[in-house]
A and B are shown apart, each in its own frame.
Chain A
Amino acid sequence: MNLFAISGLLITLTSVVLIAILSVYGKNKLHRLWTVFNFSLIFLGFSLFKIGTSVSPGEALIWWKVASVSGGLLAPLFLNIIYIFCNLPNRKILYSSYLPVSIFIMLDFMNLGTYRLRFIYGPFYYLELTGFVLPLFLCLWAAILIYAFYALYKFYVSSKGLVRNQAVFILVGFFFGFIGGGTYLLTTFAHILFGKNIYPFGQTGIVIYSTIITYAIIKYRLLDIKVAITRTGIFVAVYTLVLGLPFLIAIWAKGWLIETFGPEWWILPLGLMGILATVGPFVYIYVQRKAEDALLKEQKHYQHILKQASIGMTRIRNLRKLLDLITRIVTKIVKISYAAIYLYDKETGDYILQISRDKHRISVPKLTSDNPLITWIRLKREPLIYDEIKRQTEYANNPVYKQLEENMLLLTASVVIPSFLEDRFMGFFVLSDKISGQIYTEDDLNVFQVLASQTALAVENAQFYEEAKDMQEQVAQAEKMATIGTMADGLSHQLNNRFYALSLIAGDIMDTIKMTNTSKCTPEVKEMIRQINYAFERIQANVTQGGQVVRGLLKYSRKGEAGFEAISLNTLIDNTLEMVQFKVRLSEIDIIRDFPEDIPKIKGNIVQLEEAFFNFIDNAYDAILERHALLKEEHYKGKIIISSAAKNNYLEIIIKDNGMGIKQEDHEKIFTPFFTTKVSARKGTGLGLYVIRRIISDMHKGRISFESEYKAGTKFLLELPIAR
């Protein structure tokens, strides 16, 4: 077998691979056309192979015809691809480009295309040009190609982003391919013009074409053309050397080898091939790494920094600082004009803008959870690339792409990188175009995805840390309250004794003044006595007030010893309202008592029940405020209805509010200590309902349950024992 035949075989094989890839990844009309193109190439490659191995001129002639037809078809097919890829109007030129090829095929079959064959370079027949038919068609063929390349080049200049990148691939790939394929003429011309024989090596270019395109499709979306060509080039060079060198030696130095080594001469090139084939992959890897290091120096540099940064990120516990750092890393090192981070908000389910890096731009404040972009990411879990989406809108008829494109435009996103923690879609990065105008490469996306998942982890960390800090503060607060309670117990006695003494002292003096006959005193003395009396009245009044303060303080003492008594629901509510008025603006809400006056009394501990009711009303009030703030309904007024009815030995009490209600997912958690949904302004201790349940179920052997609908209100049902 000779090199010519081998290159033909290689063309066939690479085209088969290309078709295989296209059939797996191919989706649209362009891909299908491309497949047809490659079938043509298979025919061409195979016929070249057959020409190279033909032993009779008749056989060679048949395969030259096949080669001419399939090679000829490549030009209009290529033009067709360009038409579709560049979305060119005016299809007349395209259609008419098929005409000469059809005529040529007809002539070919009628044996009118004149071929003359001769031997060159050993045992195969090569084509010679005679007459005018073939040269004429060759000129037309070249014209079609020149026109196609010209159109592609014009498109390339005006395009940008991903499409531009793809245009480069096509341009370079096909250029190699056609130039290589076209060189078969070189041999013919060289013979005509110089009478010299040039070995027809050029069609190896077609292999290069296939390799470039294959690579581009595998790495499809985003790869630097420099890198692609270098990688392909290295691959071809190394393996040409590995597989070709022994062959060349075998061909060129055959005579010398036979002379030197005798009939076993072929062991040498075979051995060399074996050695080179073993070393080949290592050489390839080594050379490729070196080449990439040189080519991707800058890129490697920022990848390194990004990786370092993402490790450092997990150490930052403050969420705001963390997000700030991340955007700074992204915008400064990667040099993009705009970046933003959106995070999932548990309260609303929306994705809310946390930080954006560009003061002059007004960012979209949030995306709701039903936004097509959010739905898409949740489903696909992949970065979204604007250029690709745009391309899909042009090719596919799926309206989703259109929506995605619009949303990405709104976000001014060139890419959207989602951040997942296990199955939770925590948030996403929005990155604009690079300042350099370069596109985002596959490698870029990989790094950003690493950064995004690191971010998810770091954000989770920071959120957890902040929650833990909050919780610690709440525990500390609860402990403080408990301490105040205990202290209040001891203090109250002391304070009350002082107030009692003061009260008696002041009272006795005023009494003495009252009982003393002052009629004989001078007006000055009378005035003085009046003033003294007034002063003691004030002391008395202050003492009384002081006593009330102490009593108020005692309400926070949570000890409430175990005395049970008959308590009327009305008294309980009265006392609770008195306590709660310091925290709750009662005028803002309606509190409705919906039960008969003569409802049976509860057997209970008044301190504990007051505490429980305090928490009920406090919670309801917060829920009302929340609804007011979140839903912003007109004419909304908070309402708490307390109704009650006797049921056997139990008094059923229902406390119903029209506040925000409890989200379904929180229903199970509400009685858990330190669980709170109350927002920053009116922070809860997370103990309210826990305390309520302890008081109702544990202390009073009653029962508590609730029903709640988010955005509508909550209803607590209590059962407390009736006093006998």
Chain B
Amino acid sequence: MPKLLIVDDEDDVREFAASFFRKRKVDTITASSGEEALSISERQRSDLVLLDIKMAGIDGVETLRRIKELDKDARVIMVTGRKPNEQAYFDKCRELGAIDYIHKPLQLDELETIVLKELFK
């Protein structure tokens, strides 16, 4: 069963996204902060990470960098609620090895398409 790590400081986002992917036979674990995501990543490897950029504590970009330090093959999709065309963030994430960059809000079926494509390819 592919393993998905959802990192987001929003309870509702974690709960419902996890619920959704579990129904699709995806082993979904959640982390409410960058720190928590890193401690999980130290213990176990995920097939895909959905990583929110703006979080309290260490932010998504820094978390991405450290996850990549732990596992340079880690596959991470960045999620942002900021405005589109934020070239600086976008470039940085791409440089650090994020595989995609998605903008909130988006419909669940779009998220499904993106995530399942990455998990089952």
Contacts and interface: CB of A to CB of B under 8 A. Distances in A.
Contacts of B107: 503, 507, 540, 544
Interface stretch (A205-213, A352-360, A365-373, A494-502): A494-502
B62 interface: no
A497 B11 CA distance: 11
A508 B16 contact: yes
A557 B85 CA distance: 12
Interface residues of A, number: 38
Given A501-B16, A505-B12, A505-B16, A489 B83 contact: yes
Contacts of A504: 12-13, 16-17, 20, 108, 111
Given A507-B108, A508-B108, A500 B10 contact: yes
B3 interface: no
Contacts of A502: 105
B117 interface: no
Given A492-B83, A547-B105, A561 B88 contact: yes
Contacts of B81: 492-497, 500
Interface string B90-119: 110000000000011111110100000000
A500 B13 contact: yes
A557 B83 contact: yes
Contact of B104 (A500, A505, A561): A500
B105 A508 contact: no
Interface secondary structure of A, over-half rule: helix
> Which of B16, B17, B82 is the most central at the interface, judged by chain A CB atoms within 10 Å of its CB?
B16
- Interface range for B: 20 to 34
B109 A507 contact: yes
Interface in A535-580: 540, 543-544, 546-547, 551, 554, 557, 561-565
A607 interface: yes
A493 to B, nearest CB: 4
B54 to A, nearest CB: 6
A59 interface: no
A512 B83 contact: no
A543 B105 CA distance: 8
Contacts of A489: 82-83
B19 interface: yes
A649 B81 CA distance: 37
B91 A492 contact: no
A492 B82 contact: yes
B73 interface: no
Nearest to B83: A554
Interface string A477-521: 000000000001100111111011111111110111001000000
Given A515-B23, A547-B106, A563-B86, 11 more contacts: A496-B105, A500-B10, A500-B79, A504-B13, A504-B20, A505-B16, A508-B19, A540-B107, A547-B104, A564-B87, A565-B87
Interface of A: 488-489, 492-497, 499-508, 510-512, 515, 540, 543-544, 546-547, 551, 554, 557, 561-565, 605-607
Pick the 4 closest A-B CB pairs, nearest first.
A563-B87, A507-B108, A496-B81, A499-B105
